[in-house]
């Protein structure tokens, strides 16, 4: 019989095949803050799943639970694969993982970024993934080094003014 003649709730089949969240194949370096954020996300998901189990098993709730469980698997995997990098173990004269880097461009505009792991990266908080093009060009550099930063409006030269590990 054609599906067109079957009266079923479309939500019964919605979200049944929820794809897994992609997990990077790169090393999962994390700062202490990044590790703590992963743990908080995991705990929040566990609470949400526990709360959802108290409600009726509707198709909508099943779908929501499946998405939460998928996210739970993702965060468990990221925590399990994390490689904690302690800033105290870094060479303070070089830009390495976890460093806060102050840059100045040719117009004396200042930029401040921290080099962090993939899950912690957030440009609104000035946190760059160590895999980003700018971070890759900064890694290993020292105060006074000039870096070419390619942005949407072209290439710019920036100078490393300061390196901090907090």
Inter-CA distances, 108 with 137, 151, 159, Å? 20, 17, 10
Q: What's the count of helices (H) and strands (E) in the chain, helices before strands?
A: 3, 7
Q: How far apart are CA 38 and CA 79, in angstroms?
A: 7
The answer to whether 45 and 73 have CB atoms below 8 angstroms apart is no
% residues pLDDT > 90 (the chain):
77
pLDDT of 23 > 80? The answer is yes
Q: Which CATH architecture has domain 26-84?
A: Orthogonal Bundle (1.10)
The answer to whether 162 and 138 have CB atoms below 8 angstroms apart is no
- What mean pLDDT, rounded, does the chain reach? 90
pTM above 0.85, yes or no: no
Listed in order, the ranges of the chain carrying CATH 1.10.287.180 are: 26-84
Tens of pLDDT, residues 156-166: 999 999 999 98
Tens of pLDDT, residues 112-126: 999 999 999 999 999
The CATH topology of domain 87-164 is: Chitinase A; domain 3 (3.10.50)
% residues pLDDT > 70 (the chain):
90
The answer to whether 142 and 161 have CB atoms below 8 angstroms apart is no
Listed in order, the ranges of the chain carrying CATH 3.10.50.30 are: 87-164
Which letter does DSSP use for residue 16 in this model?
T
Average confidence (pLDDT) over 132-152: 95
- Structure confidence at residue 3 (pLDDT): 53
Q: How far apart are CA 70 and CA 80, in angstroms?
A: 15
Alpha helices per DSSP H over 53-127: 59-80
pLDDT of 61 > 70? The answer is yes
- Structure confidence at residue 5 (pLDDT): 53
């Amino acid at each position: 019989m054609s599906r067109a003649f079957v009266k079923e709730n479309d939500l019964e089949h919605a979200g049944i095949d929820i794809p897994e969240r992609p997990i990077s194949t790169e090393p999962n370096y994390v700062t202490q803050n990044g590790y703590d954020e992963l743990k908080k996300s995991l705990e929040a998901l566990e609470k949400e799943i526990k709360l959802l189990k108290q409600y009726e098993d509707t198709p909508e709730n099943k779908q929501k639970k499946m998405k939460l469980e998928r996210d739970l698997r993702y965060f468990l995997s990221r925590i399990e694969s994390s490689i904690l990098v302690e800033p105290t173990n870094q060479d303070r004269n070089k830009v390495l993982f976890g460093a806060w880097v102050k840059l100045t461009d040719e117009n004396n505009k200042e930029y401040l970024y921290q080099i962090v792991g993939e899950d912690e990266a957030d440009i609104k908080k000035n946190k760059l993934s160590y895999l980003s093009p700018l971070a890759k060009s900064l890694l290993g550099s020292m105060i006074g080094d000039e870096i070419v930063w390619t942005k949407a409006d072209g290439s710019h030269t920036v100078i490393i003014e300061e390196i901090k590990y907090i």
